Amino acid sequence: MKKGLALGDIELIWLNGGTFELDGGAMFGVVPKVLWSKKYPSNEENYIPMTASPILVKTPGPLIIIESGLGNKLTEKQKKIFRVRDEWSVPDDLRSLGIGREDIDVVVLTHYDFDHAGGVVMTDETGTPTLTFPRAKHIIQKKEWEDVLNPNKRSANTYWPINNELLRESRYLELLDGDSEITEGVKAIFTGGHNRGHQIVRIESQGQIAVHLGDLLPTHAHVNPLWIMAYDNFPLESIRLKEDIERQYISEGAWFTFYHDAFALACKFDEDGRVTDRVT
């Protein structure tokens, strides 16, 4: 049974978008290992377990997916480099819930790094690339898409053309220029920080709130605003954003949902950043 979280009339269900491993130092930047490893353990090679877990958002209206997982297009070499442990199985997970790929109405991507957007395009049983969610509107910030199409030397390593070519040529791409309500209770909010066009998702129903911060808060161990990834393109902006956003949503008693956390799907925190409740 898939793990979920009920928020009033809205239900969140985490899907298997693949698991992999990354260097703990890269994930925690300048934070000493003696500190971060107490909250998020590594193996003897300093690698930490990571998930790429899309969230199915079942609203009274549209079916929404936040992020898309690693996808099924990684080469054997790429799987080895990123130490992939579990393969992407999002279509099968949806099928087990009685949902087809064509039933998804909206896909929201916080940003277009390969580990978030790799599942936008899949190869079918014949090996042909196809949009994983062929009827879904794909929502991305305009600034992010500009950078996807014109990557710099750093971002070229994560914005892979294989993940955007079919979407670029389709009518299912919707570019936002700032905040936008996706449907009642679900809102995309522009932030920047991790990437120039990064966005987050706020979900609210019957007074219950969850917020998906994407790579601004990749795991529960990153709740300290100063604990940011070496992958962040605008580190000082990420710190400022985390301070402001966490303060707001902690005061609202919100759930913080995670895409990359191998130990928690969602958490609530107190004002000192201590976990007060979690979904695992």
Question: Tens of pLDDT along 136-189?
Answer: 999 999 999 999 999 998 888 999 999 999 999 899 999 999 999 999 999 999
Identity of residue 199 = Q
Those residues with Cβ within 8 angstroms of residue 163's Cβ, 6 or more apart along the chain or in another chain: 71, 73, 112, 114, 117, 118, 120, 121
Across the range 190-206, mean pLDDT stands at 97
Rounded average pLDDT over 228-246: 96
Model confidence at 1: pLDDT above 90: no
CB environment 148-167: b (16+ within 10 A), e (fewer): beebeeebeebbbeebbebb
What does the alpha-carbon distance between residue 265 and residue 256 come to, in Å, rounded to a whole number? 9
272 SS3 class: coil
pLDDT on residue 169: 84
Q: Which residues fall within 8 angstroms of residue 157, CB to CB, at 6 or more apart? A: none
Question: Which amino acid is it at 226?
Answer: L
Share of the chain above pLDDT 70, in %: 99
> What is d(CA 155, CA 232) in angstroms, rounded to the nearest whole number?
11
3-state helix, strand, coil in the chain (%, to 5): 25, 30, 45
With a cut of 90, say whether residue 223 has pLDDT above it.
yes
Q: Which residues of 25-37 are buried (b: 16+ CB within 10 A; e: fewer)?
A: bebbbebeeeebb
d(CA 145, CA 147): 5
pLDDT attached to residue 240: 97
In this predicted structure, the answer to whether residue 53 has a pLDDT above a threshold of 70 is: yes
Is domain 4-279 annotated with CATH 3.60.15.10?
Answer: yes
Residues above pLDDT 90, as percent of the chain = 96
What global pTM score does this model have?
Answer: 0.95
Q: Say yes or no to pLDDT of 2 above 80.
A: no
N- to C-terminal Cα distance for the chain? 13
